[in-house]
């Protein structure tokens, strides 16, 4: 308690200091500046603000406030109307009709029409790195100004979820349709015009994005906040310090156990786990299956049996993260837990290595391997160090290789210049968006990070994924994905370790924390402050 | 030499120097492994060959390097430093946005260091054997020995949690908007720690330098003459002695301006000060070639301007130089 009271005294001292510094009563300043303003801290630096041509949290997070998606989704994966007030799927599942709201406007006052929807879907299909999410879209027709019909080459059940996210923002055709390539369009970062609940007041790359309530937003009474400010911090340590100092109201993602404990101790701050489960941030140990040392599935299985996932989660990460057992995150409706769990079993691991013909040499070593990790990710560094003693127990000598920065790691992994690497690959909601890419034979692409860099190839997996991507019946689709998960877990192109559990830290004066599967990557138009 | 000739000669040197800086840095940054398209793809959460090829084509990265260099030189002659890969904005805009904060930081630090450093040095020189002089000397040594980022981190620790009266990150409180002067005071409030940190090393150096140089000057004949004339001591010290004793301080300050800018990179990083240093750091990590080159060119220009100002300061301090060299 003494520390709290000391802090309060200091806060008071700060207040008086600041008041005298600014030469005016602090109360007037506070009233003017803090009415309905929420500051969200972030360590992700957006390149620009147009999520139609840029994936990643950094751009999507402000992007979804600026550009409205067609639908939204609640915490139970159910879609709701947003920019589209109705939508229907034809009986053959080859066309989706979207009825737009008639009162929606862009921030420059121009109406949002079906031509903008057509333009946006085409732009995303042709430019967004996640090719699979709109690949079956053949054409978009616009019978009238507020109706758009999406024509599909094949049934595409993932489409509904794609429509709910900032993966498919509706961007103004009258700005981006001027013939310049959209990925490098100057209006992605200057004078950005969207259709969402907030408009851009100021964007300073590397500093902050200031968003202000759009007065003509199509949902009456929304958004509640006057301003949302996203302020960038250089690392997680300074972000947490900012939460402690009250500089920010929202910490979007606490992941380190010690940080979570510290945040829970801050008076006036709530900390809640499991935000944005649809994103599914899996962390795994990837094998280069094209490397002769690792081509035998028994060797990979042996390594998997020698890794104690409970030790990683409970001891290294203080029990904050979630167990990951397969390629689909546990929060997804398609998750199957009927797979081999690879609980720690050193005897089994040794037997598998014996069977694979890897006998211990004179010094007890059966095999020497190098393990990489994404630089700067402290959690991966810890696992990297753990693997050395853990695999030594089954006679595998692990050397740890560091990459000085991301581009160098990315180059090594995407060019198959590695043996083992820790990696973090995200689900992004529907398996078609973020899961398929890692396992399809067709997606073994040199030089492309987060493709099938494991060089994993199994014809049955290819078949299953192709079928599941088109299966309309949810139960049948789930069955296809169940078999897929079984096979991939058995083949061990990667050893699944854990799913990052993202804790949201927010000031208690905020009334409504987020309730949607995307977490803060969904529109924050219901985010508000408590009365009084 | 007339002022005009001096300026013309300096300008010619400056252009040569900047061309050399550009050529060297162009080669160096490309020697670092890693491809900008891969970084952008990484930030995008992965991209296929078509997107990567498109990125390379947009930024001219698919062209041979000598051609890229030639293009860069031609464009930079027209004041176009290219488009940032990372932020997809003109580099000139990014630099102009960040130049102000860096100049503010460096100028404040330099001013603090020179004024306080000189005053401390003068104070120490007047009673070289006193306890106060000893304290100043020891503090100077400590200040000189502490690396600037270390001082910065210590100050962040102190003012971050123990004594939270000063902001430790950024240049503005994003919640404060409105009148210009409120924002200005807010910026000054944020400037305190970074400027103090950056100035400490130099403050220490200048105080030692001023002390030594004052001791030397105070022993000369013309000071004895001034005292013999019955001038008040303050006039002897500040008017007669200080002006001459300042020469070494100005020389060192001018020479060290480059160091000051590299120090600013560290200080900006520690305090998240939105200047050229943080821009350069992000650009290097992101293999954002045009931005790195642009920032380096701009820093070279800054150093050249500073050296020119040093020369002009000499001429002001020592009238004998006005007609010579």
**Residues of chain B found within 8 Å of residue A13, distances taken between Cβ atoms:** 165
**Number of residue pairs across A and B with CB atoms under 8 Å?**
165
Nearest to B38 among A48, A411, A426 (CB): A411
Q: What is the pLDDT of residues A375-413, one digit of tens each?
A: 988 889 999 999 999 999 999 999 999 998 887 898 899
H or E stretch including A408? helix A406-414
What value does the mean pLDDT take over residues A47-69? Answer: 90
Mean pLDDT of B180-199: 91
Structure tokens at A516: 């949607």
**Three-state DSSP state, A507:** strand
CA distance A200 to A214: 9
Evaluate whether the domain defined by A281-499 bears CATH number 3.10.105.10.
yes
Tokens of B303: 């150093």
Put simply, whether A370 touches B (Cβ < 8 Å) is no
In order of their start, the domains of chain B are 3-77 (no CATH), 92-321 (1.10.3720.10)
Q: What value does the mean pLDDT take over residues B182-192?
A: 91
- The listed range with the strongest mean pLDDT (A2-11, A16-25, A255-264) is A255-264
Sign of CA dihedral B267, B273, B276, B278: positive
Token pair 């949002």 is at which residue?
A: A112
Strand pairing report for A420-426 and A208-213: unpaired
Report pLDDT for A3: 38
Measured CA distances, A315 to A305, A386, B7 (Å): 18, 11, 67
Torsion angles phi and psi, residue B104, rounded to 5: -60, -45
Domains A3-66+193-274+502-521 and A71-176 share a fold: no
The answer to whether B97 contacts A204, with C-beta atoms less than 8 Å apart, is: yes
Delimit the domains of chain A by residue range: 3-66+193-274+502-521, 71-176, 281-499
Q: Name residue A424's beta-bridge partners.
A: A283
Mean pLDDT of B221-230: 88
Per the model's pLDDT, the better-predicted residue between A5 and B208 turns out to be B208
Nearest residue of B to residue A229, measured between CA atoms: B174
The answer for A 378-417 residues in CB contact with B (under 8 A) is: 405-408, 410-411, 414
Non-local CB neighbours of A247 within 8 Å, separated by 6+ positions: A39, A41, A231, B167, B169, B173
Q: What DSSP string runs through B17-42?
A: HHHHHHHHHHHHHHHSS--HHHHHHH
d(CA A190, CA A48): 9
Length of chain B in terms of residues written:
325
A184 contacts A47 by C-beta, under 8 angstroms: no
- Say whether pLDDT at A58 is over 80: yes
Is the CATH code 3.30.300.10 the one for domain A71-176? no
Q: Is the pLDDT of residue B74 over 60?
A: yes
Instruction: Dump pLDDT digits (tens) for B297-314.
Output: 998 888 888 888 888 888
Closest residue to B169, CB basis, from A13, A210, A233:
A233
Give the model's pLDDT for residue A33: 34
Q: Locate all alpha helices (DSSP H) within chain B, ordered by sequence.
A: 3-31, 36-44, 49-58, 65-77, 91-126, 131-145, 148-157, 180-218, 221-228, 233-235, 242-255, 257-270, 276-285, 289-317
pLDDT(A261) > 50: yes
Asked if A21 lies within 8 A of B185 by C-beta distance, the reply is yes
Q: Are strands A147-152 and A95-100 parallel, antiparallel or unpaired?
A: antiparallel
Mean pLDDT of A153-175: 93
- pLDDT of A356 reads 95
Domain with residues A3-66+193-274+502-521, CATH architecture: 3-Layer(aba) Sandwich (3.40)
As a whole number, the mean pLDDT across chain B is 86
CB A170 within 8 A of CB A68: yes
- Asked if the C-beta of A245 comes within 8 angstroms of chain B's C-beta atoms, the answer is yes
Q: Over pLDDT 70: what percentage of chain B?
A: 96
Report field, pTM of the whole predicted structure over 0.95: no
CA nearest to B22, candidates B297, B278, B319 = B297
Best probe of the B interface among A52, A167, A207, A521, by most B CBs < 10 A, is A207
Sign of CA dihedral A75, A76, A79, A81: negative
Residue B36 · residue B59 · CB < 8 Å? yes
Confidence of residue B128 (pLDDT cuts 50, 70, 90): confident
Q: What is the arithmetic mean of pLDDT over B208-231? A: 88
Per-residue pLDDT band at A513 (split at 50, 70, 90): low
The distance between the two most distant Cα atoms of chain B, rounded to a whole number of Å, is 85
Q: Give pLDDT tens digits for A280-312.
A: 999 999 999 999 999 999 999 999 999 999 999
Per-residue H/E/C for A314-371? HHHCCCCCEECCCCCCCCCCCCCCCCCCCCCCHHHHHHHHHHCCCCCCCCCCCEEEEE
Check CB contact under 8 Å for B161 and A407.
no
Q: Check CB contact of A166 with chain B, cutoff 8 Å.
A: no
């Amino acid at each position: 308690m003494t520390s709290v009271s000391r802090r309060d005294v200091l806060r008071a001292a700060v207040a008086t200091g600041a008041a005298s510094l600014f030469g005016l009563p602090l109360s007037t300043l506070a009233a003017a500046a803090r009415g309905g303003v929420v500051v969200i801290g972030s360590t992700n630096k957006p390149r620009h603000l147009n999520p139609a041509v840029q994936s990643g949290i950094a751009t999507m997070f402000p992007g979804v406030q600026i550009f409205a998606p067609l639908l939204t989704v609640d915490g139970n994966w159910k879609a709701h109307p947003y920019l589209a007030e109705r939508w229907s799927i034809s009986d053959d599942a080859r066309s989706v009709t979207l009825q737009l709201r008639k009162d929606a406007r862009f921030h420059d006052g121009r109406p949002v029409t079906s031509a903008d929807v057509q333009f946006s879907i085409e732009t995303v299909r042709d430019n967004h790195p996640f090719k699979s999410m709109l690949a079956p879209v053949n054409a978009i027709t616009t019978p009238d100004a507020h109706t758009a019909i999406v024509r599909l080459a094949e049934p595409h059940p993932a489409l509904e979820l794609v429509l709910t996210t900032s993966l498919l923002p509706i961007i103004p055709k009258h700005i981006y349709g001027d013939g310049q390539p959209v990925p490098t369009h100057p209006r992605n970062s200057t004078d950005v015009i969207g259709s969402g609940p907030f408009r851009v007041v100021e964007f300073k790359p590397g500093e902050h994005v200031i968003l202000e309530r759009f007065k003509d937003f199509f949902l009456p009474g929304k958004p509640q906040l006057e301003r949302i400010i996203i302020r960038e911090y250089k690392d997680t340590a300074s972000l947490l310090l900012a939460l402690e100092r009250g500089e920010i109201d929202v910490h979007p993602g606490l992941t380190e156990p010690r940080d979570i404990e510290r945040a829970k101790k801050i008076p006036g701050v709530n900390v809640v786990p499991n935000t944005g489960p649809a994103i599914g941030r899996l962390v795994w140990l990837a094998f280069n299956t094209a490397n002769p040392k690792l081509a035998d599935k028994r060797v990979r299985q042996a390594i998997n049996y020698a890794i104690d996932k409970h030790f990683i989660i409970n001891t290294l990460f203080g029990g904050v993260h979630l167990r990951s057992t397969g390629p689909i995150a546990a929060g997804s409706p398609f998750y199957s837990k009927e797979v081999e769990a690879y609980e720690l079993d050193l005897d089994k691991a040794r037997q598998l290595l014996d069977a694979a013909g890897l006998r211990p040499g004179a010094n007890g070593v059966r095999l020497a391997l190098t393990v990489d990790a994404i630089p700067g990710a402290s959690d991966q560094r810890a696992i990297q160090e753990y693997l050395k003693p853990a695999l030594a127990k089954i006679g595998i000598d692990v050397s740890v290789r560091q990459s000085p920065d991301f581009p160098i790691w990315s180059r090594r992994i995407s060019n198959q210049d590695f043996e083992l690497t820790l990696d973090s690959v995200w689900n992004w909601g529907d398996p078609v968006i973020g899961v398929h890419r890692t396992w399809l034979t067709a997606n073994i692409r040199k030089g492309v990070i987060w493709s099938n860099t494991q060089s994993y190839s199994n014809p049955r997996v290819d078949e299953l994924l192709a079928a599941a991507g088109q299966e309309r019946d949810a139960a049948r689709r789930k069955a296809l994905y169940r078999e897929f998960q079984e096979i991939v877990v058995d083949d061990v192109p990667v050893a699944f370790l854990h799913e990052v559990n993202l804790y949201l830290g927010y000031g208690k004066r905020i009334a409504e924390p987020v309730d949607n599967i995307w977490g803060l990557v969904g529109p924050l138009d219901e985010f508000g402050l408590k009365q009084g | 030499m007339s002022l005009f000739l001096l300026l013309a000669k300096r300008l010619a040197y400056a252009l040569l120097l900047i061309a050399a800086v550009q050529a060297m840095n162009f080669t160096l940054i490309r020697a670092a492994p890693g491809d900008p398209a891969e970084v952008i793809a990484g930030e995008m959460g992965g991209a296929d060959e078509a997107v990567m090829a498109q990125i390379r084509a947009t930024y001219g990265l698919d062209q041979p390097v000598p051609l890229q260099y030639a293009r860069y030189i031609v464009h930079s002659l027209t004041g176009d430093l290219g488009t940032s890969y990372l932020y997809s904005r003109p580099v000139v805009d990014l630099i102009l946005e960040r130049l102000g904060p860096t100049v503010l930081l460096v100028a404040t630090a330099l001013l603090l260091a020179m004024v306080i450093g000189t005053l401390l040095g003068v104070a120490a020189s007047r009673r070289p054997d006193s306890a106060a002089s000893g304290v100043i000397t020891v503090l100077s040594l400590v200040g000189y020995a502490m690396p600037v980022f270390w001082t910065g981190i210590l100050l962040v620790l102190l003012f971050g949690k123990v004594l939270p009266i000063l902001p430790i990150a950024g240049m503005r409180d994003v919640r404060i908007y409105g009148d210009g002067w409120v924002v200005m005071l807010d910026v000054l409030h944020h400037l305190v720690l970074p400027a103090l940190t950056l100035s400490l090393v130099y403050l220490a150096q200048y105080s030692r330098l001023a002390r030594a140089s004052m001791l030397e000057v105070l022993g000369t004949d013309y000071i004895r003459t001034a005292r013999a004339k019955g001038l008040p001591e303050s006039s002897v010290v500040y008017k007669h002695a200080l002006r001459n004793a300042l020469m070494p301080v100005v020389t060192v300050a001018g020479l060290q301006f480059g160091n000051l800018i590299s120090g600013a990179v560290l200080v900006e990083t520690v305090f998240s000060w939105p200047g050229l240093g943080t821009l350069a750091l992000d650009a290097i990590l992101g293999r954002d070639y045009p931005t790195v080159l642009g920032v380096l060119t701009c820093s070279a220009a800054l150093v050249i301007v500073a050296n020119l100002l040093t020369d002009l300061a000499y001429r002001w301090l020592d009238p004998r130089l006005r007609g010579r060299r």
